[in-house]
Structure 1
Amino acid sequence: MSKFFTLILLFISFISKAEMLEFWSAFGDNVDQELAAEFEVRTGNQLMIRKFSIDEMKAELLLASRSKNYMPDVAWVPSDFLGLHQFIGISPIPKVWIKQEQLEPAARQSAMVGDSYMGLPLFLGNHLMLFYDKSKTPIPVTQWEQLQALSEKEPTKTQIAFSSRDMYFFSAFFSLFHPGIPLDQIPFRDKECIDTLVFFHDQIKLNHLGFECNSNCSRQLFLDGESPYLIDGDWAVSDLHDKFGSDLGIASLPSYRGLPMRSLSAGKVLTIMKTALQNPNKRVMIKQLLSMVQDEEFLTKLINKHQYISASMDVNRITIQPEQEVMNSVYQQYLQSQPMPTSLRVSFIWEALARGVSRYSDGMPKEETVLYINQLIEHFSKKVERS
């Protein structure tokens, strides 16, 4: 009986010592849950996961930083969030906590602001690709002109599905009219931006997507066989592969008038809040978490399961082999993408584009719409400069 009570006391002692990090995630997969499970096994401590959409995450972080009321300790976000570091309370990460020699060059680019690591990249990618079912479509289309011709033959059918609501998808269309220009350097008031807006709007109408179709909506059209093609991101690969298996085809985004369509790409980075690093106990746990996510064995397991591109050169060297068709395809499409700028201006662009697309769908003339988008970007920029 005394042994029984001893065990109970030990269990109670263990529970009382277990501590927790508040972990906010902007991604829809279950990698955060896997991080939490591994973290608890290794340390006895817990990650309390809260999920947000990317837009919700940005708003919540800005609000939390201002109110100082309810902050995360760690946030897993796209690397373009790093441009907001001074407004959302992100702390530089001590370089000695990062295995810098292990990182892919692009991973360093996605995580650094100036000379500081404002995040620790876990995965690279976040890029869009063209998906199709090889059992039904052995040879995929390569051009938007082909898709438009198919729409003329079958005007009631959705030929290609994509999120009409997410401005990350819209951003890829700018590469068809502003090739080679980084997103934060595009003059959002010229004829090419008008052409981009009209082309994007036309494809939504041709494919009967509506202006509220998000990535879940468009993916379901593809899964249900209602659309033979899907534009989606690397975050969808795992679910799509579960459905289609070896029949899942991955190809480049369609070109238009001979110009390739290039998605943005970014890093998925772990960011640390200043308030968390100032807490001695949480600082220890954060260091443990960052050590864990840089462990090659654990990273390899995640990569193999989710078909992502690791931020680690060594892990990629092991996992990305030609015979691993899906992962190799994802990596090849990543190499064709254009890096996401980490400037503060990018954060304003998303909001301005969303408002502009909404106004245009409601009937605002195209010329006024692009001027409105440009004015919003300039307004937000000046407002931040004054703050």
Structure 2
Amino acid sequence: MGSLDVIARALWSALLLCVISFSSPLRAQPEPIELWHGRVKADQPFLDKLFKQFTAETGIPVHLRYIIFKNLKVELIGAAFSNAMPDAIIAPADFLGHYKELKLPAIPDSEMPDTIRPRFLKTVELDGKRYGYPFFYGNNLMMFYNKSLVETPATSWKELRVMKPYYDKRNIELITFSYQEMYWLVPVIGAYGGWPLEGKKPMLNTPAVISAFKFYKGLVDEKLVQSDCNLQCSLLKFEQGKAAFLIDGTWSYKRLEESIGDDLGVAVLPYIDGKPMRPMYSSHVLAFPDYESQGEKQTKLDKLRDFIFRKDVQRQFYDEIGQIPTHKELASLVEHTTDPNRKAHFHQLEHARMMPIEPEMSHVWQSLIRGWERYSMHGFSAEESAVYMQKTVEREIERDTQ
């Protein structure tokens, strides 16, 4: 009987344990913030570390989804149509031109961090309203050079032409960049006094655009640059010492700093006939699609925003990935740097113009691509291509507004 008592007691204990287990409420796992971004791969370790810090401090997990930048806008718009938007996005400010498709609400002034410099707020403003939080800025093109190959950087395309025979003899390319991308053409348009969009009006049939087309095509005709090298190809050539100069964006600064080290030099874009090239600049923003219907999750998103704009976190964007913070105090501090490469970056920004975020700019980009292809590959003149671009972009904008 003693053994039966032991067995009965054990069974009773097991049954009691099951009852207690099932009657106790399950500990709910915190719902994560779903955040999509298209930052370069070199930034991934930093972003992972940063949002782990946020989770450690708040208990709110963040699920990061990396999307190749060229696909990010399409993925977001597709997700909006299927009601599968993320809770938060990190993207260039020009994405805000699609605020309707991306379901981005206007942000009240009371919710915009007061630490942001007023000039940076302009990068997210459309028709007097703001649709994202700018947390670092720049995103502009500048010229990099390899100090082991270049004693004194060129300041103009005229000087680059003089340098070319020297590098030809050494089987080194003079300069490389993502030639077929129109973002690299825009600074040439700026040098000739034009801009692709003024306000909401496309400006593609202008003397500046025609002159820019001719100059840009001439770079290939003179064999100063190869036309078939994209962004990744150009970066690799430069890192491997196969090209002396590189025109690229601030997004590549940290990667180049790590791969080239002390031999990395930064200079302003080369002048054209005594006039500075004018690249676009913009901010990167944090934005919350469909924020107004997020319910209790709004509190989590507000905590994420406050974290991103905290002074010590803003400093990390500069120290870790070389991006200029929008924080008033920090922006002023880093602008007074003694680092010659950083000083060159700020000098370049003096010649830059803000990238338009108006939705019309999307049509301008497409028309530029088509017009450039007609001119550079299909035998049309620069003048004919300019007329075609202007008619095309005006027709597409009109169709969109109907």
Normalised by the length of structure 2, the TM-score is 0.84
Stretches of structure 1 that go unaligned for 5 or more consecutive residues are: 1-8
Equivalent residue pairs, number: 371
| 2:317–2:324 Cα contact (<8 Å) kept | no
* Residue number in structure 1 paired with 2:204: 188
| 1:160–1:228 Cα contact (<8 Å) kept | yes
Q: Within 2, Cα distance between the matches of 1:384 and 1:343?
A: 13
Aligned-residue sequence identity (percent) comes to 25
| 1:20–1:47 Cα contact (<8 Å) kept | yes
Of the three residues 371, 380, 395, the one matched with 1:365 is: 380
Of the three residues 117, 132, 135, the one matched with 2:145 is: 132
Of the three residues 15, 30, 51, the one matched with 1:18 is: 30
1:163 aligns with 2:178: yes
* Residue number in structure 2 paired with 1:49: 64
| 1:300–1:319 Cα contact (<8 Å) kept | no
| 1:309–1:331 Cα contact (<8 Å) kept | no
Q: Within 2, Cα distance between the matches of 1:167 and 1:323?
A: 33
Shift of 1:152: 5.8
| 1:25–1:32 Cα contact (<8 Å) kept | no
* Residue number in structure 2 paired with 1:76: 90
* Residue number in structure 1 paired with 2:226: 209
* Residue number in structure 2 paired with 1:92: 106
Indicate the structure (1 or 2) with the bigger Cα radius of gyration: 2
* Residue number in structure 2 paired with 1:4: none
Task: From the superposition, tell whether residues 46 and 373 of structure 1 become closer, same or farther in structure 2 (CA, over 3 Å).
Answer: farther
Q: Within 2, Cα distance between the matches of 1:300 and 1:236?
A: 18
* Residue number in structure 1 paired with 2:246: 230
| 2:202–2:394 Cα contact (<8 Å) kept | no
SS in 1 for 2:100: helix
Q: Within 2, Cα distance between the matches of 1:245 and 1:25?
A: 28
Shift of 1:170: 1.7
SS in 1 for 2:154: coil
| 2:173–2:243 Cα contact (<8 Å) kept | yes
Task: From the superposition, tell whether residues 33 and 335 of structure 1 become closer, same or farther in structure 2 (CA, over 3 Å).
Answer: farther
Shift of 1:286: 1.1
Q: Within 1, Cα distance between the matches of 2:376 and 2:67?
A: 26
Provide the alpha-carbon RMSD of the alignment: 2.6
Moved over 4 A (4+): none
| 2:192–2:208 Cα contact (<8 Å) kept | yes
**Stretch moving more, 25-34 or 192-201:** 25-34
Q: Within 1, Cα distance between the matches of 2:398 and 2:379?
A: 25
Of the three residues 318, 338, 348, the one matched with 1:333 is: 348
Normalised by the length of structure 1, the TM-score is 0.87
Task: From the superposition, tell whether residues 177 and 335 of structure 1 become closer, same or farther in structure 2 (CA, over 3 Å).
Answer: closer
1:292-311 correspondence runs (5 A): 292-311=307-326
| 2:282–2:354 Cα contact (<8 Å) kept | yes
Task: From the superposition, tell whether residues 44 and 165 of structure 1 become closer, same or farther in structure 2 (CA, over 3 Å).
Answer: farther
SS in 2 for 1:253: coil
Shift of 1:372: 2.7
Shift of 1:262: 1.3
Q: Within 2, Cα distance between the matches of 1:247 and 1:152?
A: 22
Shift of 1:335: 2.7
Shift of 1:223: 0.7
